[in-house]
Amino acid sequence: LTKHQMLREELKQHFSLFPPNSPPMAILSSVLNALSCYYPELLEIQDEETFTEATARIMSKVRTIAAYSYRQQLGHHIEYPHPRKRYAENFLHMMFSQPHNEFEADPALVDALDLIFLLHADHEQNCSTSTVRMVGSSEANLFASVAAGVSALWGPLHGGANVAVVNMLETIRDENISVGDYVAQVKDKKAGIRLMGFGHRVYKNFDPRAKIIKKSCEKVLAKLHINDPLLDIAKELEAVALEDEYFIQRKLYPNVDFYSGVILRALGIPKEMFTVIFAIGRMPGWIAHWYEESKATKISRPRQIYTGSVQRTYQPLAERS
């Protein structure tokens, strides 16, 4: 991964062509796709050696592209990766270093980011993973397939859940709403307010990843002596919801997104980069699914069930209003 972390000078020119304040996910998807133009020998993967080479390049370069996309949004110069820093540590270095002031991440921050990457590495057939598999089933190359996964993850209902959680917690704080009142609004269907970060399509009890991230969040904030009121609000929300029959009956428990936004804030990651962090972490899972799908021989072809009118009377065009 260290060997392949640099970007070619020609590829770096792509970043300067994006307008200021371009969404980092747009840049990430575009530049991942553009990698295919620079490594044509990796477009057709016929053996393990070629697959390993393509995987190493994508896994390494995705964090470099992500950090560059953030700096491009700010109008800052590009910071090169450091040859002697670990994977997550190097990402933080490229994100936050300034000229003549190299960012030295606290080991607790590096470990926390490592954990976030690990916990997001794979989670079966979600929207973005299914997208990668479907695109790959057409024999599209690995670069194009993971770029499609990034685009699917960009949707707020998929990759933006932890942003929604932080927005909810900030609303409770800024509007001075008590947790009890907010929970009451959530239970009132007429209010149209949702409790973000609760519930999961697969888990009908506590998301095991949420427990791990919560412990890490508390550890990081304590280590850095950060008193974040959002963590206090989140813990109070969790405690109230877990004792409320409304949420118990509906099997609504905290999921991985409930605390991940709080810990990313502690790491200094801005909200517009939350989904990018998700994409970096999910990359090995996407690649593994793509490789598994590449063994299949048929293109993916979903079926539809028609739910419209069974029979309609034809009306000549001249008689239509």
pTM: 0.91
Q: What is the DSSP letter of 84?
A: T
User: How many Å apart are CA 154 and CA 151, to the nearest integer?
Assistant: 5
101 is a domain residue: yes
> What pLDDT does residue 207 have?
84
Give the other-Cβ count within 10 Å of 219's Cβ.
15
pLDDT value of residue 303 = 92
Which residue, among 252, 239, 268, 232, has the nearest Cα to 105 in the 3D structure? Answer: 268
Q: What pLDDT does residue 167 have?
A: 95
Q: What is the pLDDT of residue 310?
A: 87
Domain contains 172: no
Asked if the structure places residue 220 within a domain, the reply is no
Look at the alpha carbons of 91, 93, 97, 103 in this order and tell me if their dihedral is positive or negative: positive
The predicted pLDDT at position 316 comes to 92
Query: Which residue in the block uniquely carries the two structure tokens 């970043």?
Result: 15
Q: What is the CATH number of the domain that holds 79?
A: 1.10.580.10
Q: How many domains does the chain have?
A: 1
Residue 253 is assigned to a structural domain of this protein? no
- Which pLDDT belongs to residue 35? 96
pLDDT at position 73 is 83
Nearest 5°: the CA angle 98, 102, 104 is 130
Q: Tell me which residue range forms the domain holding 101.
A: 9-105+123-149+285-294
Within a domain: residue 205? no
Which sequence positions are flagged as catalytic? 200, 257
Q: How far is CA 152 from CA 13, 86, 126, 127, 209, in A?
A: 25, 28, 10, 7, 22
pLDDT per residue of the chain (321 residues) written in tens, 0 to 9: 889 999 999 998 899 899 888 999 999 999 999 999 999 999 999 899 999 999 999 999 999 999 999 998 888 888 999 999 999 999 999 999 988 889 999 999 999 999 999 999 999 899 999 999 999 999 999 999 999 999 999 998 899 999 999 999 999 999 999 999 999 999 998 888 989 999 887 777 778 898 999 999 988 888 888 888 999 999 999 999 889 999 989 889 888 899 999 999 989 999 999 999 999 999 999 999 999 999 877 899 999 999 988 888 899 999 998
pLDDT at position 31 is 96
In a domain, 56, yes or no: yes
Specify if 41 maps to a domain.
yes
pLDDT value for 309: 87
Written as six digits, the tokens of 235 are 């813990």
Per-residue model confidence (pLDDT) at position 200: 80
DSSP-assigned letters across all residues of 132-165 = HHHHHHTT--HHHHHHHHHHHHTSTTTTTHHHHH
In a domain, 53, yes or no: yes
